[in-house]
């Protein structure tokens, strides 16, 4: 796979775009939506359209698309049908746009958006309209879903199988991971092997709290998740998860995880201290990589600050393309590595809080 040449950074104060120039250097290219929170942004490889999800707070959620990343068009954000209710009888309303994915190569114009409170929306006309995926919303377990970092359950991960567009995974905080084989008509939970320390029954099928789920693009059967209670890996498409956290090292608690596109044994995390102390481990920033499927982890620190560090990295704020990685932090730092995470360079120390980073091709 060729490495992508554009980096989209969704931040508390706008969408910040970096590009790799002809000399191989990454440089700031533009800033879009200056002053407004961008929760996630990406470019649809099927159509070339740019997408940005915004959280205006007082004005609510917004979704924008663009043909060139310069001129943007606001669309109507995914909206729950009239009469839909949460489990407590209150009306269901879109509070946050938390995940974005595109359909397979044979589905240009198909996009998915994951929201709080736990609804998955689908568009087949490039965002002109959205429909709630009823098979997931009406799943019998939804009454058990509950909020984690946000007030309500939320979908933060959407994975569409590159070989079969009807095969999709979503991950819900707090509920777990779900799989469909029929394009969303029916769903099953895939949470065996997970252990939620905070539940009365830690092995309960529903109530697990994945922070992010990713997979190896070259072999989607191999999946990884940074979970509230550790790092997990599956080699059989989520049928069973093995805990692969470090017992006595930093690679355990965190939010973001990135899987190698080609090597099923390789993944990266940016760890935090703990659930109770959400800051960098030992007040020093590191990125951990496993090369053997999670049996061992190595912490890389070169180029990263090692004193008085309070940074933590949100779930969408780490990405990889080839041997190049980038991650952003809650204190507005943005780092880049071009050697599989072994050493890092600073792209900026002066950004707003970083919500997401994503490599794209333009």
Q: Tell me what the mean pLDDT of segment 157-176 comes to.
A: 96
Q: How many angstroms separate the CA atoms of 105 and 244, rounded? A: 33
How many distinct helices (H) and strands (E) make up the chain? 1, 28
pLDDT at 247: 83
Contact 103, 111 (CB under 8 A): yes
- Give the pLDDT band of residue 210 (cuts 50, 70, 90): very high
Q: How many angstroms separate the CA atoms of 82 and 297, rounded? A: 49
pLDDT at 65: 98
Over the range 261-292, which residues count as b (16 or more CB within 10 Å of their CB) and which as e? eeebebbbbbbbbeeeeeebbeebbbbbbbee
pLDDT at 149: 79
Contact 64, 35 (CB under 8 A): no
- Give the pLDDT band of residue 153 (cuts 50, 70, 90): very high
Provide the strand spans (E) within 284-333.
287-290, 298-300, 318-321, 324-328
pLDDT at 2: 82
User: What's the angle, vertex CA 305, arms to CA 301 and CA 308, rounded to 5?
Assistant: 125
Q: What is the pLDDT of residues 190-200, one digit of tens each?
A: 999 999 999 99
The pTM assigned to this predicted structure is: 0.97
Half-sphere exposure of 106 (CA within 13 A, CB side): 6
Q: What is the pLDDT of residues 107-150, one digit of tens each?
A: 999 999 999 999 999 999 999 999 999 999 999 999 999 998 78
pLDDT at 1: 63
Q: What is the pLDDT of residues 213-248, one digit of tens each?
A: 999 999 999 999 999 999 999 999 999 999 999 988
């Amino acid at each position: 796979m060729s490495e992508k040449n554009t980096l989209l950074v969704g931040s508390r104060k706008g969408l910040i775009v970096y590009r790799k120039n002809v000399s191989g250097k990454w440089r700031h290219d533009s800033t879009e939506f200056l002053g407004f929170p961008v929760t996630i942004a990406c470019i649809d490889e099927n159509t070339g359209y740019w997408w940005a999800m915004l959280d205006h707070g007082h004005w609510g959620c917004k979704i924008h698309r663009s043909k060139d990343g310069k001129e943007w068009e606001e669309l109507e954000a995914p909206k729950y049908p009239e009469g839909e209710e949460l489990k407590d009888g209150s009306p269901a309303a879109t509070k946050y746009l938390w995940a974005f994915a595109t359909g397979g190569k044979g589905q240009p114009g198909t996009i998915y958006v994951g929201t709080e409170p736990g609804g998955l929306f689908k568009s087949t006309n490039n965002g002109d309209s959205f429909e709630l995926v009823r098979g997931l919303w009406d799943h019998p377990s939804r009454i058990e879903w509950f909020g984690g970092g946000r007030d309500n359950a939320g979908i933060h991960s959407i994975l569409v199988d590159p070989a079969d567009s009807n095969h999709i995974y979503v991950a819900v905080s707090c509920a777990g991971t779900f799989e469909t084989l029929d394009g969303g008509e029916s769903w099953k939970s895939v949470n065996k092997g997970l252990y939620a320390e905070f539940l009365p029954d830690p092995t309960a099928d529903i109530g697990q709290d994945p922070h992010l789920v990713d997979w190896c693009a070259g072999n989607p059967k191999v999946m990884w998740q940074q979970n509230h209670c550790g790092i997990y890996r599956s080699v059989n498409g989520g049928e069973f998860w093995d805990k692969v956290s470090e017992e006595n090292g930093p690679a355990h608690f965190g939010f973001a995880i990135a899987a190698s596109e080609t090597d099923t044994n390789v993944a990266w995390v940016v760890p935090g201290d703990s659930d109770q102390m959400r800051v960098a481990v030992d007040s020093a920033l590191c990125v951990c990589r496993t090369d053997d499927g999670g049996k061992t982890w190595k912490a890389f620190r070169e180029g990263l600050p090692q004193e008085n560090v309070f940074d933590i990295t949100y779930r969408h704020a780490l990405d990889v393309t080839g041997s190049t990685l980038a991650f952003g932090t809650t204190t507005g730092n943005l780092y880049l590595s071009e050697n599989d995470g072994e050493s890092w360079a600073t792209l900026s120390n002066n950004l707003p809080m970083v919500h997401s980073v994503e490599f794209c091709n333009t």
